[in-house]
Structure 1
Amino acid sequence: LDQLTKNIAEASLLLHKAVAVFPGFNLTLMYNKGAAFSFLSDADGWQRPFFVILSTAISIFLFFWLKQISNDKEQKDNQLLQMAISLILGGAIGNLIDRALYGQVTDFIQVYYSSYYFPAFNIADSAITLGAGLLILDMFLQVKTQEGK
């Protein structure tokens, strides 16, 4: 889904030309050489190999964590945790593909309020953010479950 939406954005949007969808939401093609939400995008170029290696390492870790959970009797039924890790893993791989092949990530979702524009992002960033939120929720639910025992 991430790669498909990036391809559609590149085929149908002009670089830095906003297409208003509704107030507070634009589609705007941008390229990001940094991390999520344009972090380190102005660095001198060292960030490409750094983020490729980091993303690869994180993806491998998440894959094996997910595999370990599916083999763990106590956690294999924890669908929230599996969904959280899967979203983060999918998002990491989506941006890793861009970064490894093109040296930059394609962003096209732009959210704003009044004159404040949040950094542009993509479906992979959304999956990572949603997955991180679900991971935090799962941790809170696990603490509550442990307190109830």
Structure 2
Amino acid sequence: MPQEADGPADELALRPLVLRRLPERMAVAVRSRGGNEEEMRRKCYICRARIPPLKEMVSSLLSCRAHKQQLEFNNDTSSERYHGVCQSLKQVEKEVGKDWDGVTVLEDGRKPAVVMPDYIHNAAIGVAPNQFSNGSMPIEQKIG
């Protein structure tokens, strides 16, 4: 029969055996699987295959890389902004993982994709309202 923990010392001794960050149904004994806690969080609890990153994590990784590359292109490598981008890139790369294949992503079915309207994109990049790429006229000109 298994013994129950007699006090706080016994509970602390058992604590490293179970991953605390996973849900109850996914908790796995670290020592029995032969891996550390960081490795086990990124693996499937059934087949031990690596879980791919979320689509949002990949987009933030690509965004950080592009921002860093743009700052390097502008020769702005000594600014605080560049160092902040490097720190955020390091954090995102840590979350995504070093062994990511660059292709496989995990779809999050709970959140629908957000589509940015064309007029917001055009305003952000500085396109004048009468220079639409699809040749359509603005609504104000059609009505008036």
Q: TM-score range by the shorter chain?
A: 0.3 to 0.5
Rg bigger for which structure? 2
Q: More helix per residue: 1 or 2?
A: 1
Give the number of the structure with larger relative contact order, counting CA–CA contacts within 8 Å between residues 6 or more apart: 1
